[in-house]
Amino acid sequence: MKPVLRNLILAVLLTSTQLVSSQDHLTNQQLIQMVELGMGDAIILSQIENSNNDFDVSTPALLVMKQSGMSDAVLAKVIEAAKNTSRKVVDPNDPMAAHRPGIYYKDAQGRMVELMPTVTSQSKSKGALATRLSYGIAKTRVVSRISGAQARTQFGGGEEFYFYFNQQNASFDQNSIAFYGFQQAISPNEFVLAALDANADARELETGSANNYTTEHGIDEKHARPFEIEQLAPGIFKVTPSYLATGEYCFVYSGAAPYGHTQQKVYDFGVGKVSGSGVITKY
C-alpha cells in the first residue's frame, strides 16, 4: 500500500473516531459528514452497529440523508438502530423524549421533574349535625384529607405540566408505573384539576355529599379548575392551567376519583408568590 493512500485511510478513520467520540453517540449530521468524507458503507455500518445514537428517522430527515449520497443499506441500518431502545440516547429534559408514564414539570434549571403522587390520609363526613337539625335538607359533605398544610412541590405561577401515557412510542416496565391511571387513561381529559381547602394540618377535597333527598359522588364542580391541553406526540401532552390563584391543588384521575369513604392517590402541588429572593410564600 502506498504511503499516501495509507495515510489518507488512517486520517479518515481518525476523523470517524473523533466524530463519534465528540458526542459519544451518532447523529444524522455525523453520518452525512462520513459520507461527504468518502467513507464506504462497511465503515459507516460498523460505526452504527457499535455506537449509541440519536437518529432522526422522520421522512424529511431520511430525505436529507439520501440527498447527501447515503446508500439504501446505510439508511435501512439507521432506521433499525433508531428503533433499538437499548442504543437510543435520550435527553431526559426534552419534553418530546419518552418518559415513564406520569406527570412532569420543569424546574428552575429546565430539568424535567416527576410530580409524585400523594395518598389521601383519610376520609371523613362533615355537616352531619346540620343535616339532622335541618330535617335532612342541609347536606352532609364527604371530604378526603391529605396530610400537611402544603404540598411538597410549590410553584410561583405560570405552571406547565407534561403528561406521559402508555401510548408513547416506547415500552416500559408496567410494574414501575407510579399510578395505574396512566395505564387506563389516554389523555389529560380524563383527569380533574381540583382546588383543595387548606387548614393548619391538612388539605381537604370534597368528594361527595348527601341529604335526605340526593346523594352525589365525585369531585364537586366548584373545586374544578380549567386547563388547556396540547398534544405534542402520541401519548405526550402539555397541560397549562388557565389561571391558578395562590393555594393548594391536585390532579385526580377521574376514573378513580375518591368517593364516599375511600382513599386514593392525587398529584398535589401548591401555588404561591415569589419574593425577590426567589422564595415562594403563601398569603
Give pLDDT, residue 183.
Answer: 67
> Do both 196 and 254 map to the same domain?
yes
In the three-class reduction of DSSP (H, G, I as helix; E, B as strand; rest coil), residue 50 is classed as coil
What H or E segment, with its residue span, contains residue 143?
strand 140-147
Residue 89 lies in a domain: no
Which is it for the CA torsion 249, 255, 258, 263, positive or negative?
A: negative
Q: Are residues 270 and 139 in the same domain?
A: yes
> Is 58 a domain residue?
yes
88 within domain boundaries: no
pLDDT of residue 143: 80
- 52 and 178 co-located in one domain: no
| Cα–Cα distance for residue pair 276/156, rounded to 1 Å | 12
Give yes or no: residues 77 and 109 share one domain.
Answer: no
Whether residues 152 and 14 fall in one domain: no
Query: Is residue 271 a part of any domain in this protein?
Result: yes
Q: How far is CA 11 from CA 5, 7, 8, 19, 38, in A?
A: 10, 6, 5, 12, 12
Q: How far apart are CA 82 and CA 86, in angstroms?
A: 10
Residues 30 and 117 in one domain: no
Q: Which residue has the cell 400523594?
A: 118
Q: Is residue 143 part of a domain?
A: yes
**Domain-located, residue 94:** no
* Domain end marker among 49, 82, 115: 82
Query: Which of the listed residues 53, 82, 111 is the one where a domain comes to its end?
Result: 82
Burial class (CB in 10 A: 0-12, 13-18, 19+), 276: exposed
Q: Which of 31, 53, 82 is the last residue of a domain?
A: 82
Residue 202 lies in a domain: yes
CB 96 within 8 A of CB 233: yes
Same domain, 177 and 254: yes
Q: Domain total for the chain?
A: 2
Q: Tell me how far apart the alpha carbons of residues 280 and 278 are, in angstroms, rounded to a whole number.
A: 6
Q: Does residue 140 sit in the same domain as residue 259?
A: yes
Inside any domain, residue 93: no
**Would you state the pLDDT for residue 22?**
41
Give the domain range for residue 62: 3-82
Q: Which three cell numbers stand for residue 257?
A: 376519583
C-alpha cell at 205: 377535597
Which ranges in the chain belong to alpha helices (H)?
3-21, 28-36, 41-49, 59-67, 72-82, 128-133, 181-184
DSSP state of 102: E
- 157 and 41 in one domain? no
Kindly state whether residues 78 and 152 are assigned to the same domain: no
Q: Sign of the C-alpha dihedral, residues 160, 166, 172, 178?
A: positive
Residuewise pLDDT in 10s, the chain (283 residues) = 555 555 454 444 444 444 444 446 888 999 999 999 999 999 999 999 988 888 888 888 899 999 999 999 999 999 999 888 778 777 788 898 878 889 999 998 999 999 998 888 766 665 565 556 565 565 666 788 888 999 999 998 788 999 998 766 555 554 444 455 676 788 999 999 999 988 888 998 887 666 666 656 667 788 899 999 999 988 899 999 998 999 999 998 876 554 444 557 889 999 987 655 555 665 5
Q: Phi/psi of residue 235, each to 5°?
A: 80, 5
Beta-carbon count within 10 A of 281 CB = 11
Are 111 and 249 members of one domain?
Answer: yes
Grid coordinates representing 56? 432522526
Regarding whether 50 and 161 lie in a shared domain, the answer is no
